[in-house]
Structure 1
Amino acid sequence: MDIIITFIITLTYILLLLPYKLSIAADSIHLSQPLTNGKTLVSKDGTFELGFFRPDGNSIKTYLGIWFKNIPVRKVVWVANRANPVNGSKDIMLTVNMTGNLVLTQDDTVVWFTNIQEQALNNNSVAVLLDSGNLVVGNDRQGYLWQSFDYPSDTLLPGMKLGRSLKLGHDWKITSWKSPQDPSPSEFSWGLLHHDNYPEYYIMKGTNIKLSRFGPFNGQNPSGVPEIRYLTTSTDPLQNRYEFVTNKDESFYRYSYNTTNPVISIIVLNQATVFRYVWVEQDQIWRTYRSFPKDKCDTYGLCGAYGNCIIKRGQMCQCIKGFSPKSPQAWTLTDWSGGCVRDKPLSCNNGTQKDGFIKFGGLKVPDTAHASLNETMGLEECRDKCLNNCSCMAYTNSNINGGGSGCVMWFGDLIDIRHFDDGGQDLYIRMPTSMLGTEHRRERRIIIYITIASICGLLLPCLYFVWRVHKKIVDNIKGKLLKWPQRLNIICGVCRGLVYLHQDSRLRIIHRDLKASNILLDQDLNPKISDFGTARTFGGDQTEGNTKRIIGTYGYMAPEYVAKGIFSVKSDVFSFGVLLLEIICGIRNKAYYHTDDNLNLVGQAWTLWKEGRASELIDSNIENSYVVSEVLRCMHVGLLCIQQNPNDRPTMTSVMLMLESEMRLEVPKEPGFFYSNISPDSCLSRSRRDRSLAYDVTFSSFGPR
């Protein structure tokens, strides 16, 4: 509605200018003011530009397109006449005709036009390039009659819909360029297939060949892309807000920026791969932030029916428990297309023998081409209905939020399943009675084996590692051995470790006691995060927890954790920010006191940053080994991490990109705990804890958490 109001206001302004023969507004054209070669339209805010271009400088083929105006590496985001280029640039013209259509001509021959179905009621139709990059045609009486967002090329911009208008029978689909020099539509597309009201997005070759599948939306994310989470609020400039909508009129996906000062990013289909590109101003390049398919397991149907793709296995295709390869010989030769067959047949509730279901977790659910959706049905009712239908092979919740809701049932073979270490969802697969008891006993044994293996296989080598390197670590930290390149390597290494804990591991892990003494270095000074005695794990959609038992080290703990017992990934981000400042300054936060202002290291860094004197805090031991701007940028990132409000702090994924690129950084807000006279006594009552904090040692007792 806001966009339509803006359009009408702009249109009214343009129409008022017409009688006075003033220059046409730079973002629009109309009946008496066409666009010719050499001229362009520029959106009101200067972000986008429309004009004629040649993708190959040596070619005579000319196209009408839209691109980012102020980015020197031109990325065309929309092309009008993709399938019908103009030869040369002579006598080409874009205008709005008497019927309200936008028409591209050369020598009075129509090359491309908008084909508006609704007849314009007057001759005042205007084409306007909006700040969103959307080229719209309309008038003050009818509003929009046509918009380029309804006819995407290879690029999905914020606000564009990808999906299908059920009401109009129109597909919003992305189609790749044939090559970087040829914008004509290739055979590769990215769009929605609407299966029994349970739509999924696919990358297709032609109209029938599925190359990759994103999985149905499960209330949090597409089932096959767990790292893309449905967001409602965030201040992270790299996290987009995703929206998935399905109703009787339309089904679509779209995204928008989360902040008013976002990182410029676009989503592009390049041949058979979807890329999210981020513009890095300092390096003047488009950098890949994320892509899909991300690995071999995203290849559609790679493991065949009832095959489960596990990327970390030597042989990535594995048959689901209770199934074996249909062709063992082909399977050995890594030809998994034949899939798997059951070890024992189903009884379909024949006589006393009854089938049941075994739950498999962490999965991308199967292709929904032969699935049925009922959003009002609960999981138990869903199970009963599936059990009573001999053709139903699996079921699960359609929405995994809030304990789960809705019912999806699969009929026929289960195709295109993969396993995730982090994310994924439960799937209940039909099994014969003989498999049910065996599986339950086996699960108990596996839990015991994993526990023993974790203790013997991981803990003992870690203790040995600590014993061998501890003296070397202390010497490095206390002495002058660590120059800036080594310190930066430690900073980035710890950051990567936290990204793994927060995002890439199967369960989201909150360390809760990140500090200098819990970072171990090997002989090559590569950092390892240690001491997970106080760590907590989150599963599903859980993002934060609360405890009355505060455990940690004063000087590193986030303010919301100390004051209220609230911990999340942003608690670790705060600790990392303190650690980053300590590495730069060469002194611990709690050991630094500025006597004039009673400030600790965090407080002094904040004060000097505001005064433009932050370089005074850089450790003199790294003199002649660093570039001032690089160190100050790291300090800037550290201040973003220790902001008082956890919602203002970036995620560790964003921190990683900040450290490895020259992307624009936001101005940090006031940090938490920057006065040295703030004591944990007000928050931690037990003297035992107070003593542990004073000596920079973490205290915890044995017991359930």
Structure 2
Amino acid sequence: MARPNLIWPFLLTMLSALLATSSATDTMNPGDTVRDGESLISIGRSFRLGFFAPSSSSRFRYLGIWYNTISQQTVIWVANRDRGINDSTGVLSFHSNGSLVLSDARGQVYWSTGAAAGVASPVARVLDSANFVVTGSGGGAPAWQSFDYPTDSLLPAMKLGWDLRVGRNRNITSWRSADDPASGQYSMVVDVRGDPQIFLLQEATRLWRTGPWIGQRFSGIPEMKTYDMFAFRFHIGADEVYYQFDILNSTILSRLVVRPTGLVERVVWIEGTKSWNRFWFAPKDQCDSVSLCGPFGICNTNDSPVCSCVQGFKPRSPRDWYLRDGKDGCARRTALDCRNGTDGFVQVTGVKLPDTSAAVLNHTMGLDECRAACLRNCSCTAYSNAEVTGAGTGCILWGGDLTDLRVYTSKGMDLFVRVAAADLETSASRAKRMWVAAGAVVGAFLGTLLLGWIGWCLRRRKTKTNTVVLGDDLELPLFDFATIAAATGDFSAANKLGEGGFGPVYKGRLGDGKEVAVKRLAKNSVQGLDEFKNEVVLIAKLQHRNLVRLLGGCTQWEERMLGSLLDWKSRYQIINGIARGLLYLHHDSRLRIIHRDLKAGNVLLDEEMNPKISDFGMARIFGGDETEANTRRVVGTYGYMSPEYLMQGLFSVKSDVFSFGVLVLEIVSGKRSRGIYHSDPNLNLLGYAWSLWKEGCGLELVDPSMVCSYPAAEVLKCINVGLLCVQDLPEDRPTMASVALLLASDTASLPQPKQPGFVGMRGPLEGSSSASKGENCTVNNVTVTIFDGR
């Protein structure tokens, strides 16, 4: 029996498919139809319009638009989202009056656009922007467009907001569920009242707020300015108020989408993984919830509890407040006295501006005019600049309660809140008392910290006064040796806290009861007077919650800071805290500081496990335009120094980034960078982490003491960030600003790291004599000191 010739049916099938594809058009003329199984494709083949089912189990069919060039069907617009067709007889018809009508075989209409008034010879067309438009055959402004009726997604060139000429509000609203495109509970809407802003709503309940537009970003999205692949716009005019974005790289696909879960996300398409990855999302944390701390309450995720009152205010419901229920907010301690003109303002720094729905906006006023205008109006409760460009421009005036106020660690704005004169005086006197007390403690501590230097000076009879001046603006009290000796029990071994590069550190108590820690410069110290003085000056000048403040100390553990006592939440908190401290040193402090000796032993933990960066003896101050420097004397700790610093003496902010990356990998793994690993005795921690990462086994790096009690995605993100920081070339490493953003963003689209520096170098065995205190090793005449931490 002859075999049937199957090639002809196959070729006919392929030819039919090719003809169907080639015949696809982007345009409908009056009388044309698109039936279920047919489609329109934009002229650049970017988007397709046709019928779809949201899932294999769905019995309804919908007319929609989706990306045509990616493998995962992603619907961005649905015509009949709230009324699905329950069979495959749907047909889209285009009529001579310019109306589009979606119906089924029975003539039942499921969706229509109405007539296109005033348009001769209308055509309907799918554009490469994904906009489905009805225009005249010669073009011109659309008589109807799908962009005016968004579903759950905002694409480049789409407008989110109001067309005030016709009263149309263009919101994006979530699907009801992943397989049901019907209108869900969550919407992103523009509120045009006061100073316009965008809200995420659950039906009528406000969940999250962008804050007002402040020139280059929204007040409530401080990271927005760092997204250099996007161009953002917020237009406020008499005819329209809308938000819009564009993508500067045409090869990137991105959209803003409201999820059925109540999140708004910016996602980007990753071709390598054939998936959409989250680039940004909101709400992120509890302080993103609208007015969690109520009127005149401030939310700060770095505090515990997160709610506090603006200066001059107290909790309205103290019992609820201390039970962590802040919704009632805060009330004034003293009533305002507008008539006598005695009211003043307290400055709240680094904030997301309060709800501006009832605020008054003036773009021409300066800040001084803004203050005067607020004082003239007895109902005015606060003022601020409207934009952050330059020194700040424009004026926002608030009346009534200030709600949804939160602070950020960086990139927040200054808000000036009106308070009574009595509260200004009370606050000032309270602040003065606090500064006097803090100054006494700091002075005592710094005085004791200078003990070695003072003794050196005394022995040479160089000290003539009761004060010592360090630099141009730092004057410190001078303590006599007897006072310090008495405070520490004559430097008894029982009071010794530990020992570092300068020498031993002791705990003590001064005659007035103040507890101090005394760092004594030892005669055989491998670090000298310059480094000692350098540390005192820097710590005295720098202020940040993740830098050590010389107010006391408590050490109960050795350098082995990790172990079964630290769960993942604590470790993640430590990683983020160290990142914030370094970001402050590199970018936000008035001095640009390179630490040069960041390691586990120089990160102290307070009673709440908040990290404090310490030991600034090796630190260097950079000028405003300096980015790197060279030194003939390399100082630091083996295992944490970057390749270019160890081998060439070159250091920059990227040297600290390398050290931070090592710390991250140590914190995740619970292993020291100097250890060796069973998989390969020639691998140090960086090599071990790199080999696991390349094999797709990154989670094998995790400290076994945590068992499985950690979020895998968050841990992998930290390992990824750590490996990015320890890349061999400094130009490949991110800045600490980028690191902080990567750590704060819940995203799977992190860059893939390149090979770290020192991957194959054998580190000294942990606990071996080669890691003993104070040993020096020399590489190419470069001195490296290895210390055990305190």
Query: Which TM-score bucket, shorter chain as reference?
Result: 0.5 to 0.7
Residue 370 of structure 1 and its aligned partner are, at CA, apart by: 1.9
Specify the alignment match of 2:124 in structure 1: 126
The match for 2:365 among 352, 377, 399 is 377
Residues 408-427 of structure 1 mapped to structure 2, 5 A cutoff = 408-427=396-415
Residue 447 of structure 1 and its aligned partner are, at CA, apart by: 5.1
Residue 693 of structure 1 and its aligned partner are, at CA, apart by: 9.9
Specify the alignment match of 2:224 in structure 1: 229
Contact 1:280 1:287 in 2 (8 A): yes
| AA in 1 matched with 2:131 | N
Q: Deviations over 1:336-381 (max 9, x none)?
A: 333322111111133xx61111111122222112211111011111
Q: 1:382 to 1:463 in 2, by over 3 A?
A: closer
Residues 609-628 of structure 1 mapped to structure 2, 5 A cutoff = 626=692, 628=694
| Larger CA deviation: 149-158 vs 370-379 | 149-158
Q: 1:446 to 1:69 in 2, by over 3 A?
A: farther
The match for 1:355 among 343, 350, 356 is 343
The match for 1:93 among 91, 94, 98 is 91
2:187 & 2:406 partners in 1: Cα distance?
A: 23
2:660 & 2:393 partners in 1: Cα distance?
A: 38
| Larger CA deviation: 48-57 vs 399-408 | 48-57
Residue 417 of structure 1 and its aligned partner are, at CA, apart by: 1.7
Contact 2:657 2:734 in 1 (8 A): no
Contact 2:49 2:126 in 1 (8 A): no
The match for 1:200 among 191, 197, 201 is 197
Residues 437-586 of structure 1 mapped to structure 2, 5 A cutoff = 437-446=425-434, 458=548, 500-501=580-581, 508=588, 512-513=594-595, 533=616, 546=626
Contact 2:47 2:130 in 1 (8 A): yes
1:446 & 1:461 partners in 2: Cα distance?
A: 13
**Secondary structure in 2 aligned to 1:362?**
strand
Residue 180 of structure 1 and its aligned partner are, at CA, apart by: 2.2
1:574 & 1:119 partners in 2: Cα distance?
A: 65
| AA in 1 matched with 2:783 | Y
| AA in 1 matched with 2:163 | S
2:117 & 2:254 partners in 1: Cα distance?
A: 35
Specify the alignment match of 2:135 in structure 1: 138
Contact 2:232 2:245 in 1 (8 A): yes
The match for 1:152 among 136, 140, 150 is 150
2:739 & 2:659 partners in 1: Cα distance?
A: 11
2:118 & 2:624 partners in 1: Cα distance?
A: 54
Contact 2:173 2:258 in 1 (8 A): no
Q: 1:439 to 1:460 in 2, by over 3 A?
A: closer
Specify the alignment match of 1:298 in structure 2: 288
Q: Deviations over 1:220-267 (max 9, x none)?
A: 4322232x3335846xxxxx4332222333222222334344475543
2:250 & 2:168 partners in 1: Cα distance?
A: 32
1:529 & 1:693 partners in 2: Cα distance?
A: 33
2:404 & 2:737 partners in 1: Cα distance?
A: 35
Specify the alignment match of 1:216 in structure 2: 212
**Secondary structure in 2 aligned to 1:651?**
helix
| Larger CA deviation: 369-378 vs 294-303 | 294-303
Pairing 1:365–2:362 present: no
Residue 513 of structure 1 and its aligned partner are, at CA, apart by: 4.9
Q: 1:263 to 1:129 in 2, by over 3 A?
A: closer
Contact 2:602 2:614 in 1 (8 A): no
Contact 1:188 1:206 in 2 (8 A): yes
The match for 1:180 among 157, 173, 178 is 178
Specify the alignment match of 1:331 in structure 2: 321
Q: Deviations over 1:609-660 (max 9, x none)?
A: xxxxxxxx998985996465669998995798947699999933677699x9
Residue 288 of structure 1 and its aligned partner are, at CA, apart by: 3.7
Q: 1:379 to 1:553 in 2, by over 3 A?
A: farther
Specify the alignment match of 1:103 in structure 2: 101
Residue 185 of structure 1 and its aligned partner are, at CA, apart by: 1.6
Specify the alignment match of 1:685 in structure 2: none
Residues 382-421 of structure 1 mapped to structure 2, 5 A cutoff = 382-421=370-409
Give the number of the structure with larger relative contact order, counting CA–CA contacts within 8 Å between residues 6 or more apart: 1
Return 5+ residue gaps in structure 2 as ranges. 1-19, 446-515, 518-547, 562-571, 666-672, 674-681, 699-718, 757-778
Residue 405 of structure 1 and its aligned partner are, at CA, apart by: 1.3
Return 5+ residue gaps in structure 1 as ranges. 1-20, 235-239, 474-491, 582-587, 589-616, 672-690, 699-705
Q: Deviations over 1:2-59 (max 9, x none)?
A: xxxxxxxxxxxxxxxxxxx995444444445532212333445554333212224333
Contact 2:124 2:135 in 1 (8 A): yes
| AA in 1 matched with 2:224 | R
1:43 & 1:650 partners in 2: Cα distance?
A: 40
**Secondary structure in 1 aligned to 2:431?**
helix
**Secondary structure in 1 aligned to 2:368?**
helix
Contact 2:381 2:417 in 1 (8 A): yes
Q: 1:577 to 1:280 in 2, by over 3 A?
A: same
Pairing 1:344–2:334 present: yes
The match for 1:163 among 161, 164, 168 is 161
Pairing 1:695–2:772 present: no
Residue 321 of structure 1 and its aligned partner are, at CA, apart by: 2.2
Specify the alignment match of 1:591 in structure 2: none
Residue 443 of structure 1 and its aligned partner are, at CA, apart by: 3.2
Q: 1:521 to 1:433 in 2, by over 3 A?
A: closer
Q: 1:290 to 1:693 in 2, by over 3 A?
A: farther
Alignment length, in residue pairs? 597
Specify the alignment match of 2:79 in structure 1: 80
The match for 1:241 among 228, 231, 245 is 231
Specify the alignment match of 1:112 in structure 2: 111
| Larger CA deviation: 314-323 vs 572-581 | 572-581
2:357 & 2:661 partners in 1: Cα distance?
A: 47
2:624 & 2:76 partners in 1: Cα distance?
A: 38
| AA in 1 matched with 2:158 | M
TM-score (norm 1): 0.68
Q: 1:128 to 1:449 in 2, by over 3 A?
A: farther
Specify the alignment match of 1:680 in structure 2: none
Residues 39-54 of structure 1 mapped to structure 2, 5 A cutoff = 39-44=38-43, 46-54=45-53
1:358 & 1:623 partners in 2: Cα distance?
A: 49
1:638 & 1:347 partners in 2: Cα distance?
A: 55
Q: 1:297 to 1:529 in 2, by over 3 A?
A: closer
Q: 1:192 to 1:447 in 2, by over 3 A?
A: farther
The match for 2:242 among 238, 247, 252 is 252
Residue 268 of structure 1 and its aligned partner are, at CA, apart by: 2.6
1:519 & 1:168 partners in 2: Cα distance?
A: 65
Contact 1:394 1:411 in 2 (8 A): yes
**CA-based RMSD:** 5.5
Residues 426-437 of structure 1 mapped to structure 2, 5 A cutoff = 426-437=414-425
| AA in 2 matched with 1:149 | F
1:493 & 1:133 partners in 2: Cα distance?
A: 43
| AA in 2 matched with 1:155 | S
1:28 & 1:641 partners in 2: Cα distance?
A: 54
1:693 & 1:81 partners in 2: Cα distance?
A: 75
Q: 1:564 to 1:58 in 2, by over 3 A?
A: closer
1:218 & 1:494 partners in 2: Cα distance?
A: 32
Residues 306-325 of structure 1 mapped to structure 2, 5 A cutoff = 306-325=296-315
Residue 390 of structure 1 and its aligned partner are, at CA, apart by: 0.7
TM-score (norm 2): 0.61
| AA in 2 matched with 1:224 | G
Contact 1:264 1:279 in 2 (8 A): yes
2:133 & 2:178 partners in 1: Cα distance?
A: 26
Specify the alignment match of 1:487 in structure 2: none
Contact 1:306 1:319 in 2 (8 A): yes
